[in-house]
Amino acid sequence: MPDRFIVLNGRATSLVLEHAGGTLLWRHWGARLAEGVTLEPLQRTLPSFSLDHDIALSICPTFGMGWFGQSALLAHRDGRDFAQDFETCTVERRDDAELRIELKDAVTKLTVVVTLALDPDTDVLTTTTSLINTGRAPLDVQWLAAACLPLPPTAQHVRSWGGRHNNEFVQYDEPLGGAIWRRENRRGLTSHEGFPGSVVRGTDGTAWGAQLAWSGNHVQTIEPLDDGRRQWQLGEWLAPGELRIAPGEALTTPEVLATFSPDGTNGVAQNFHAAIRARMIWPGGAMSPRPVHLNTWEALYFDHKPDDLKSLADTAAAIGIERFVLDDGWFKGRNDDTTSLGDWTVDLGKYPDGLRPLADHVTALGMEFGLWVEPEMVNPDSDLFSAHPDWALQIAGRPQPTARNQLVLDLARPEVGDHLFEALSALLTDLPITYLKWDHNRALAPAAGADGRPSYRRQVLGTYALLDRICAAFPGVEIESCAGGGGRIDAGIAMRTHRFWTSDNNDAVSRIAIQRGFLQFMPPELMGAHIGASPAHATGRRQSLDLRALVAMPGHLGVEMDPRRLEPDDRNRLAAWIARYKQWR
């Protein structure tokens, strides 16, 4: 093609951009173009009552200068510089698969950098956007799209996923019509209610998928354009006043992973699985065979007795369990969910000799020892909150509503991150822990930092920093992302963890739909899937052991029950399913 066009090719995908003044126009994102195909410069017949100069969809459409669709940037300086327009565009081609595009606006003194990398093996496009304030005054940012993607006229249906606790990944199929389609999340974490990604289906069996690699508030919109195409934007949802960029500072969005497949939604899933696998950081550099879990929560809840737990471990090892995870209830004063979060020392009333005898018993049986923690939370009834009530997210003069009897610690404060790192480090140093089940059992409300400004974004970055610090100090430890079950499943947290707890609902029939939604975006080896009790604790429904096992088999297998309570025949059948999983994994 002429130099006016920029082309990236994947295995079954092509991406084409066209130089136009100070920006790049989207010309194609879809099926791979044939070798030697040429495009003509974009020429469109303008509707009457239009501006005399055509403004088509670019990689970063801006507000105020004639683009009347959704803008990729909304920002101002004290009410001014609200209309942006780029005069210069510089493209750096780093290799055959990656572009760095720099757009400059000399009037508003802003620079936008868009990076696009199309992996030729997975057909997944990774994109981010950076905004640099080159002016002399602070810039307030209302919206910055991480990606602005084109969809052709054949893109007619969108599939998204919502739900709630114990009913994650509820699938919604909707036609794309003449109005804007929009999904928002303002809960402060990824949420049960709305996964940060969707799949768009074409009338010809093709499909496009995109997901935001971010564990906080998020937005995605799909908007019809006057030329028959649509634009798809994804990014962080920003609270009023949340983001102000000082002179010389830059803001970089989370990544968006996007893909096209001629093989429909299954092809999109396969592309995403390959891309997520390539991003994973495993202890030792590679994934080991996924060990079969036993998690103690639904077996014992808060009723911890060392001899009872050792007996449970004996039975677990006998049926083939390889990792024994001690869930909530092990730390000081923790007899129910009303107290003690934040006090990460062992309850000597339950464990007079600490956790070491239990951990040694587990490892002597040939199993790994794992532990449940919820570092980002604090109970008002705790030693930590009594000593540092200012460490919880709050707004001066406003009440502090609890959820599950707990508040959220402000992880933007360095002293909070240091305290949590030291508490977790003590546990990981003193005990043979190879696995942390990391929970997060409430949404953020209120969510102001020490300066009184919204802190949703800073909270996510503080969590990432703590996880990164733990992983660096203890590289042999695997971490499970749990948030009341499936409330924090996304490609951002996946780079810092090694497993997702898909849902607190272990009912096999419920799990079929939940797991199908999960697998649209994430590979099965990250999907925690447990054989639960019958009747199921979440629904009360009774199901055969074989059905429960079959539904759990496609994921990372675990057991969420007390196998000592099974009849001998059922216990032997459970052991047989575990053995079969080990053959297949």
- For residue 556, give every residue at least 6 positions away whose Cβ sits within 8 Å of its Cβ, in sequence order, or none: 290, 293, 499, 524, 525, 526, 527, 528, 529
**Contact assessment for residue 370 and residue 449, using Cβ atoms and an 8 Å cutoff:** no
What's the half-sphere exposure (Cβ side, CA atoms, 13 Å) at 490? 29
**Strand bridging mode 124-133 / 256-261:** antiparallel
Q: Which of 439, 490, 507, 562 is labelled catalytic?
A: 439
Which residue is it, tokens 């449970």? 312
- How does 52-74 read in b/e, with b if 16+ C-beta sit within 10 Å? eeebbbbbbbbbeeebebbbbbb
Which residue is it, tokens 């675990």? 558
Picking from 556, 509, 504, 558, the residue whose alpha carbon sits closest to that of residue 531 is 558
**Strand bridging mode 368-373 / 433-438:** parallel
Is residue 504 part of the annotated active site? The answer reads yes
- For residue 250, give every residue at least 6 positions away whose Cβ sits within 8 Å of its Cβ, in sequence order, or none: 130, 131, 132, 133
The helix/strand/coil state of 316 is helix
Q: 359: part of which helix (H) or strand (E)?
A: helix 356-364
Q: Which of 328, 504, 507, 562 is labelled catalytic?
A: 504
| CA dihedral sign, ordered 266, 270, 276, 281 | positive
Q: How far apart are alpha carbons 516 and 507 in whole angstroms?
A: 14
Q: How far apart are alpha carbons 175 and 156 in whole angstroms?
A: 6
What's the half-sphere exposure (Cβ side, CA atoms, 13 Å) at 398? 13
Q: If you count DSSP H runs as helices and E runs as strands, how many of each does the chain have, helices first?
A: 10, 30
The helix/strand/coil state of 16 is strand
What is the DSSP track for 380-428? SSSHHHHH-GGGB---TTS----BTTBEEB-TTSHHHHHHHHHHHHHHH
Structure tokens at 169: 């990944």
Helix extents (H) in 394-522: 414-430, 456-473, 508-519
Q: How far apart are alpha carbons 321 and 313 in whole angstroms?
A: 9
Please give the C-alpha separations between residue 101 and each of 88, 92, 289, 299, 390, in angstroms, as whole numbers: 10, 6, 41, 54, 43
Is residue 227 part of the annotated active site? The answer reads no
Peptide bond into 535 cis (omega under 30): yes
Q: How far apart are alpha carbons 358 and 263 in whole angstroms?
A: 50
Rg from Cα positions in the chain: 26
C-beta atoms surrounding 150 within 10 Å: 24
Active-site amino acid positions: 439, 504
